[in-house]
Amino acid sequence: MTDRERDRDRDRDRIRDRERKRRRDKDDRDRERDKGDRERDKGDRERDKGDRDRERDKDDRDRDREREREREREREREKDERDRDDRVRSKRSRSRSPDRGRSRHARSPSPSERSHRRRHHRTPSPDQPRKRHRRESAEEEHKETKKAVSDFVDGIAMEQQQKQKDNGGEAEGDEDELEMMKMLGIPVGFDSTKGKPVAGADVSGVRAVTKRQPRQYMNRRGGFNRPLPAERNR
């Protein structure tokens, strides 16, 4: 074997060793990278598990707190109901007559006696005087209205009779008819106002209604950022 061939073999072995070492280094780097990824994934899983555990503990604490508040509200509600029952019971005991408690062992009256006693010893209601006063006021108002209508009708009838006496004519209706009309509340002796001046009939007034003219602010000629024109009514 010549020196040239020996050098060639030596170079080939050196290149092969270099390639083998490079592959070994690459495999080591890949293994290190995979190990780092696995450790990172494990850390993420541990972190997620810790977060889930904390969330679960927080939910459990919230549920326990809500359950405790519900029990507290239930106790408050029961206490309010007991207080209300006590107040009602005390009010009933105060409103109960002491004579009734003393005569509990005495002879109880019969149903007929109780009804007779209630009928003859009924306590007058405070609304009865008010109703009676309202009824009397309505009756007095009705009487006053009826008297005013009667006086008005009598005045018109007397005026008509006076006119007929002044004119020398005789009354068209008799006294019975006038009395019947007065009882029915029918006015008699009305005359027409046609062609006659009536005070207050020439009063008049005008109510003028004006509408505001709308003013345009946007999309005006010359731009919109200018003072608005004066208001006008139409």
Per residue in 155-165, pLDDT (tens digit) is 777 777 777 67
What residue segments make up the domains of the chain, in order of their start?
A: 3-85, 140-189
Nearest-angstrom CA–CA distance, 70 and 153: 80
Of residues 19 and 134, the one with the higher pLDDT is 19
What would the mean pLDDT of 50-70 be, rounded to a whole number? Answer: 88
pLDDT for 69 beyond 80 = yes
pLDDT of residue 191: 66
pLDDT of residue 74: 92
What would the mean pLDDT of 66-78 be, rounded to a whole number? Answer: 91
pTM summary value: 0.22
DSSP code per residue over the chain: --HHHHHHHHHHHHHHHHHHHHHHHHHHHHHHHHHHHHHHHHHHHHHHHHHHHHHHHHHHHHHHHHHHHHHHHHHHHHHHHHHHHHHHHHHHHHHS-HHHHHGGGSPPPPHHHHHHHHHHSPPPPTHHHHHHHHHHHHHHHHHHHHHHHHHHHHHHHHHHHHHHHHHTPPPSS-HHHHHHHHHHT--------TTS--TTTT---------BPP---SS-TT-SSSPPPPP-B-
pLDDT of residue 207: 82
pLDDT for 20 beyond 60 = yes
pLDDT of residue 106: 47
- 187, 156 Cβ separation under 8 angstroms: yes
pLDDT for 10 beyond 60 = yes
pLDDT for 31 beyond 70 = yes
pLDDT of residue 189: 64
pLDDT of residue 103: 47
Mean pLDDT taken over the chain: 76
7 pLDDT band (50/70/90 cuts)?
confident
pLDDT of residue 123: 52
pLDDT of residue 111: 57
Per residue in 202-227, pLDDT (tens digit) is 777 888 788 888 877 777 777 777 77
What would the mean pLDDT of 155-183 be, rounded to a whole number? Answer: 69
Per residue in 84-133, pLDDT (tens digit) is 888 888 877 766 654 444 544 445 556 556 655 555 445 555 455 565 66
